[in-house]
Amino acid sequence: MSRVLLRVVCGLVFFFLLVPLLIVFPLSFSSAPFLQFPPPGFSWQWYERYLGDPVWIAATWRSLEIAIATVILSLLLGLPLTFSLVRGRYPGRVLLDRLMATPMIVPTIVTSIAIYGLFARWQLVGTWWGLALAHTLLALPFVVIVCGAGLRGLDRGLEDAAEGLGAGRWTILRRVILPQMSSSLVSAALLAFITSFDEVVVAIFLAGSRMTLPKKMFDNIRMEIDPTIAAVSVLQILLIALALGVVAILNRGREELAPR
């Protein structure tokens, strides 16, 4: 009975979370000139408006560039930090491990104000690399947590065997450790990408006149509401779903290739 009740509760929670999607998708194909549900008819006009608007396209490409830069930076910084926190033995390691979760705990508006005050002195406000650095700060805890879980689950015996056969540290890292962490690395990269691509609060403070896609959506909702917002939201959802599907396929292939 408890299992049935748990499934019912989980089903209701998932339904509650998915209800907005059931509204957003039809709105994106609406023939009405404004947000109206249920839609009076079917039309591709809002997707055509999005694809034909250079401002929307420029904001999308800028968000993609910043997200890709965030993924690269967060992995370059997160991997060494993960090894240091998981396998290091030095004073203050536990405190540093706790502080890594600070960007996930502190409200984003507070973090944005602090970053703005710092980046204004460095003249990084209004630059795309300033946004990439700020997004890296937000994405770094996800990378460290996911990669740390993958690193803790590795078989240390394989590393010892490789070292016993004469492999150096870099060879062990490249040929033994990182291949075993591939699923964790992909998951961490995906979380970093989503964190950057979907972030709006920091963009409001740091983007300046440079529009990112979430900031453009925010400004569009504040000044001029039309179903183009729904079309852009659907495309974002599909992009994230595609990325999650790729991760699922990679994880399934890794499980099939794993020795039994």
Q: Kindly give the interhelix angle for 228-257 and 182-197, rounded to the nearest 10 degrees.
A: 170
Q: For the segment 63-111, what is each residue's pLDDT rounded down to a tens digit?
A: 889 999 999 999 999 888 888 888 878 787 788 878 888 888 888 888 8
Across 112-140, average pLDDT: 86
Distance CA 28, CA 11 (A): 26
pLDDT-derived band at 251 (thresholds 50, 70, 90) equals: low
pLDDT-derived band at 205 (thresholds 50, 70, 90) equals: confident
Predicted confidence (pLDDT) at residue 137 exceeds the cutoff of 80: yes
Predicted confidence (pLDDT) at residue 260 exceeds the cutoff of 70: no
Across 25-54, average pLDDT: 82
Tell me the domain boundaries of the chain: 42-257
Distance CA 206, CA 138 (A): 14
pTM strictly above 0.75: yes
Write the CA distances from 164 to 91, 171, 176, 180, 259, integer angstroms. Answer: 30, 12, 13, 19, 22
Distance CA 213, CA 175 (A): 38
Distance CA 183, CA 185 (A): 5
Across 7-18, average pLDDT: 88
Predicted confidence (pLDDT) at residue 139 exceeds the cutoff of 80: yes
Whether the bond between 38 and the residue before it is cis, its omega within 30 degrees of 0, is yes
Distance CA 104, CA 141 (A): 7
Helices (H), 88-181: 93-99, 102-105, 108-121, 128-152, 156-164, 169-172, 178-180
For position 71, what pLDDT does the model report?
92
DSSP one-letter code for 165? T
For 91: left if phi > 0, alpha if psi spans -120 to 50, otherwise beta; the answer is beta
- Weakest-pLDDT range from 42-46, 211-215, 240-244, 245-249: 245-249
The mean pLDDT of the chain is 82
Across 183-201, average pLDDT: 85
Nearest 5°: the CA angle 130, 134, 139 is 140
Distance CA 111, CA 205 (A): 10
Predicted confidence (pLDDT) at residue 253 exceeds the cutoff of 60: no
Instruction: Work out the number of other CB atoms within 10 angstroms of the CB of residue 90.
Output: 7
Predicted confidence (pLDDT) at residue 179 exceeds the cutoff of 60: yes
- Weakest-pLDDT range from 49-63, 77-91, 169-183, 194-208: 169-183
For position 254, what pLDDT does the model report?
55
What kind of fold does domain 42-257 have according to CATH? MetI-like fold (1.10.3720)
pLDDT-derived band at 164 (thresholds 50, 70, 90) equals: confident
Instruction: Work out the number of other CB atoms within 10 angstroms of the CB of residue 20.
Output: 10
Predicted confidence (pLDDT) at residue 16 exceeds the cutoff of 80: yes
DSSP one-letter code for 138? H
pLDDT-derived band at 233 (thresholds 50, 70, 90) equals: confident
Structure tokens given for 247: 């991760």
